[in-house]
Amino acid sequence: MGGEAGERRLGRAMSFGIPDVALGLVMGFVDDPWDRDAISLVCRHWCRVDALSRKHVTVAMAYSTTPDRLLTRFPCLESLKLKAKPRAAMFNLIPENWGGSASPWIRQLSASFHFLKALHLRRMIVSDDDLDVLVRAKAHMLTSLKLDRCSGFSTSSLALVARTCKKLETLFLEDSLIAEKENDEWLRELATSNNVLEILNFFLTDLRASPAYLTLLVRNCRRLKILKISECFMLDLVDLFRTAEILQDFAGGSFDDQGQAVESRNYENFYFPPSLLLLSLLYMGTKEMQVLFPYGAALKKLDLQFTFLSTEDHCQLVQRCPNLEILEVRDVIGDRGLEVVAQTCKKLQRLRVERGDDDQGGLEDEHGMVTQVGLMAVAQGCPHLEYWAVHVTDITNAALEAIGTYSRNLNDFRLVLLDREANITESPLDNGVRALLRGCTKLRRFAFYVRPGVLSDVGLGYIGEFSKKIRYMLLGNVGESDQGLLQLSTGCPSLQKLELRGCFFSERALALAALQLKSLRYLWVQGYKASPNGTDLMAMVRPFWNIEIIAPNQDELCQDGQAQILAYYSLAGMRSDYPQSVIPLYPSV
């Protein structure tokens, strides 16, 4: 739109004014929140039209703003996603009482957001009282409730939600800590009160669920497409699968047949509905795996993270699944398994290779290891990969270069180098990282967690130089000195969220980097060189920049002995709900 002609045209358009109705209609076509942001910055008028027509907002850090502000700006919001605890909470690095209560939000949402019908809370503490308030105000409206990795509530609330929210289409509780009060009564309530449910997810929870209620639910909710449950013996679910004619996505169950009579361990007549395309199965062993063979060609997703399969089993199974788009495994799959993936799964878009049981005292017998060999095979064989998270035991520059050459569609790449082996083939990996970043131009998220010496200051400089679009970055054990971090921080123009762990950077360098990274709005650091008296951190003090120190955890359950720094932009001011272990640095400026 540059040039004089363009400017004239623009001027005409703006001076005549676009009617609000038209503007609103046009904005209706813009879903991308980043584009919405750009629109809202054009002028105040556009900002207002956008604010009134925006249906969904994600607040990436609940303490960065207040419910009041949200209401003032977006009074007509229909859907809200809120996140609170740092990501590190998923790794047990954040004290349980850190904060992140949903109460102030739920109170405001219930009282004033008259159009709200979908709520997604992630890593927050939600009490039964909160849910009671929400349900009282929103039961007639609520179509989607996601309590995603939350804690603090019980099945009584679930029963209340099930009983009263008759329009609920999505109930998502994955990986939440839920106190069980009335067994699975909530499930019976849901099965008998709701007939519009499309998604029910309580995968990775400890909730018990009786097959009879589950089957009843499937019978009554004819639109149920996604069912993700906790552990439940698979052979008890045969009726359910025969009833669920349109089920597309199933997770949970259990092939573990302990406590089952021998005669009930027969999978010969096992049945999945033909509509089923996405599967995550628990405790599946070699024997039971064969149940899947007839369905292999139809499957688009397989999650084998929580199974007993060996490297060979993975090879056998994956060979039969040429249409996979999503594959999630542990590193037991090994290079051999990944080579099969590369040969077979030409449509693969998402690949996660998690870390297996390599602890001391672990029982991981299969010795599956993923190295440069597997990475290179996948990079060459699966050109459509967009998301790739992998734990490796060895890695070379050539493998990273191969990813840069072939995996052009990656927008999210995460690599963790495990400490199983004392030595790796090649170090440093500076050039490999440069090649990867140069080649994968669509990368928005990047994690590189290695060990000291593997990425030098030069490598950090490359990251700064070649990560124009990257918004989120996690770096572990990288760099040699402050110089590396400072070099990195002269680049990375889009970096908004940075997580650093186990790096030897001084407080002063961290503070300078935080000032220098021009898009940065969230910084989490664990393991750094504390200055003798802590003052160096004050170099990053500035308006609206909250800095909190999380003291090393004394709690045995939470397993860490290193202080953490959390710093983020906030218009809400210093939070008042921090526990003793959190020390806010909030000098008046």
Partner 1 sequence: MAGSEQRQVVKAATAAGNGSRFAVTCGLLRQYMKERGAGSSGGGGRFLPAVTMSLMATAGADAGAVGVAAAVEEEEAPEEIKTMELFPQQAGIKDSRERNETEKAQLSQLTIFYGGSVVVFADSPAEKADELMKFAGSRDTAPVSDDDAGAAAAARHLSPGQPCLPDMPIARKVSLQRFLEKRKNRLAASEQPPSPVASSSSPEPEKKEESSKRAKKDDGASWLKVNPTLSL
Residues 152-181 that bind partner 1 (CB under 8 A): 175
Binding of residue 3 to partner 1 (CB under 8 A): no
Nearer to partner 1 by Cβ, of 319 and 506: the residue is 506
Q: Is 274 exposed, middle or buried (0-12, 13-18, 19+ CB in 10 A)?
A: exposed
Site for partner 1 in 51-90 (CB under 8 A): 51, 57-61, 64-65, 69-70, 72-74, 88, 90
Of the chain, the end-to-end C-alpha distance in Å amounts to 41
Q: Which of 387, 408, 541, 575 binds partner 1 (CB under 8 A)?
A: 541
Site for partner 1 in 343-402 (CB under 8 A): 354-357, 359-363
Binding of residue 535 to partner 1 (CB under 8 A): yes
Nearer to partner 1 by Cβ, of 191 and 500: the residue is 500
Min CB(35)–partner 1 separation in Å: 4
Binding of residue 189 to partner 1 (CB under 8 A): no
Distant-in-sequence, close-in-space partners of 34: CB < 8 Å, separation ≥ 6: none
Q: Which of 8, 42, 111, 274 binds partner 1 (CB under 8 A)?
A: 42
Distant-in-sequence, close-in-space partners of 492: CB < 8 Å, separation ≥ 6: 463, 464, 467, 470, 473, 517, 519
In 298-456, which ranges are continuous DSSP H helix? 311-319, 334-344, 372-381, 397-406, 430-439
Q: Say how far apart CA 375 and CA 233 lie, in whole Å.
A: 35
- Which two three-digit tokens encode residue 367? 């010795």
Q: Say how far apart CA 241 and CA 219 lie, in whole Å.
A: 10
Which of these ranges, 106-114, 160-168, 216-224, 415-423, lies near partner 1 under the rule CB under 8 A?
415-423
- Which two three-digit tokens encode residue 228? 């993700």
Q: Residues 231-260 vs partner 1: string with x where CB under 8 A? A: -------------------------x-x--
Which of these ranges, 132-140, 163-171, 271-279, 470-478, lies near partner 1 under the rule CB under 8 A?
470-478
Number of other CB atoms surrounding residue 104 within 10 Å: 15
- Which two three-digit tokens encode residue 538? 């004050």
CA distances for 282 relative to 107, 165, 202, 231, 260, angstroms:
38, 30, 14, 7, 16
Q: Which of 159, 563, 566, 567 binds partner 1 (CB under 8 A)?
A: 563
Ramachandran quadrant class, 23 (left: phi over 0; alpha: psi -120 to 50; beta: rest) = alpha
The candidate with the shortest Cα–Cα distance to 174, out of 257, 272, 280, is: 280
Binding of residue 269 to partner 1 (CB under 8 A): no
Q: Which of 105, 306, 413, 462 binds partner 1 (CB under 8 A)?
A: 306
Q: Say how far apart CA 73 and CA 54 lie, in whole Å.
A: 10
Min CB(37)–partner 1 separation in Å: 4
Binding of residue 115 to partner 1 (CB under 8 A): no
Nearer to partner 1 by Cβ, of 226 and 500: the residue is 500
Which of these ranges, 119-127, 139-147, 399-407, 499-507, lies near partner 1 under the rule CB under 8 A?
499-507
Min CB(165)–partner 1 separation in Å: 26
Nearer to partner 1 by Cβ, of 177 and 458: the residue is 177
CA distances for 511 relative to 22, 481, 484, 494, 567, angstroms:
46, 14, 14, 18, 10
Nearer to partner 1 by Cβ, of 32 and 263: the residue is 32
Nearer to partner 1 by Cβ, of 212 and 530: the residue is 530
Q: Which helix (DSSP H) or strand (DSSP E) does residue 63 occupy?
A: none
Which of these ranges, 40-48, 117-125, 296-304, 311-319, lies near partner 1 under the rule CB under 8 A?
40-48
Which of these ranges, 131-139, 216-224, 286-294, 567-575, lies near partner 1 under the rule CB under 8 A?
567-575
